[in-house]
Structure 1
Amino acid sequence: ETVTIFGRQVSLALANINVGVLYIMAVASIAVYGIVLAGWSSNNKYAMMGGLRASAQMISYELALGLAFALPVLMAGSMNLLEIVQAQQGFWYILLQPVGFVIFIIASLAEVNRSPFDMPEAEQELTAGYHTEYSGMKFALFYMGEYIKMIAVSAFAASFFLGGYSGPGVESHPWLGPLYLLLKIVAVLFWMIWMRATLPRFRYDRLMAFGWKVLFPVALADVLLTAVVLVLMPQAAGAALFLPLLVVNAVVFVLALALLSMGLGGKQNVA
């Protein structure tokens, strides 16, 4: 938590909040208002449609994202980010909850409007979405805000599932902690940019159907089954939870495949 610089103990955390996860979710949800107001105030139908799409998409996927946040909270027994990171010493939560990590990443991509979930900025349909009437510094603020949110989401992914600042040699050399955290953040950012250059954009109706019919039920089932395992094994932690949660992840994965085939596999009428 601290490093020694010129003989003084310096905290690596800006604020140690006991309900840090709840605070993050509350602050992240405010972004919807800015996007809706940006589209509405442009007095442009494409910008307004982009703002409405963005708000509907973000609200829909915030449900699955909130449930993905609940997984490390349940396993660590705390909403404090430092305690969640400390609970992963020696066994990261991505090993216990690979499906939960995938849910978190997918919902995060939709939350920050990154490809293949960049429907609010679909150039072929909406010109540039809620950015259409903006240029100069105002456009730069929107663009920088998008990348700041990407960095924040990557930091949360590293803290919740990748062990945060933990790594080899941190106990004897605390200065390695920020370096490990930075490397994990860069790895998640690289993956997000790679996905943008690899995957095509979803159709909007399929995007919303995936969020409500597949991702949300899968995330809910994952949280419920994980909670059952933790209630039945209250003293277990780390490697002791690997096999029970492996079964949970297998069940949730099969459920996801079934919901995908039922929810998105059928033909839809196009007007």
Structure 2
Amino acid sequence: MNAQLPPPFFLYGEPPRAADPDFLHVEDLAVRSRPSGWRIATHRHADLNHLILITEGGGATLYEGQEQSFTAPSLLVVPAGTVHGFSWARGTQGRVLTIATVQLEQVLSLWPEGAPLFAAPRAVALEPAESAELASTVAQIARECTWHALGQTAAVQALLQLALVRAARAAERSGAASEASGRQVRLVARFRQLVEERYRQREPVAAYARALGVSETALRDACAAQGLSPTQIRDERAVLEAQRLLAFSAVSVAEIGASIGLADPAYFSRFFRRLCGVSPGQWRARLARRKPG
């Protein structure tokens, strides 16, 4: 039996429908990511392409089952039809530029050298200047999309072509990055997978390093290159599980702490407050107040 494909969406969470040929959409990353706990489940779009500019924070992409970590500033490229999902660090900031395939092909017909940018999904590490230029261009696109004025269509296509040129240049430069950097990215991806399997055990960083067959220093350096520490990655995964249980179960706070390896309720409360700003009980009560009825 064939494995079931992840669900298709129009924009994430919206029922699938055919995109208008000239569809172009810009929105803040947090609009869909914050309500879903900073995780976007794997899904696909039939005829929509993403350029996602990450200006603060970071996380991990899941492209066709392959995980890749990244940190800001970065540009995530998601061609139409790609099975993709994201796990963002809380508070990550950025903008999502979504382009209908017909619109994209029309612009690329004027600049065919840009077509390789969408040949495969990727995460492109940006230089600060590249990020600032892209942010400015995306902001101009968003502004043009909110009004109807003389030359709007021409302006949008020109700005979109400029965004693609800047993205392609950044991708070309990033592709020349050292193999050492590539090894670090792969090490962090392996570490995240191991954390997923073992975060409940509250193991020290040294134990993870031994399991990965690297030195503790190498693991710390690789994570630091992604803007995080190994402990942060482990703890953020644990607190996400605690949040899920607080939101969707009636399990006691003490039991939730024990389920993620923190059997002392007082310590769990301090741990949760340090990462979330409120106690577990306050977090659950706040969610309850938001529920209708």
TM-score, scaled relative to structure 2: 0.26
* Higher RCO (CA-CA < 8 Å; seq separation 6+): 1
TM-score, scaled relative to structure 1: 0.27
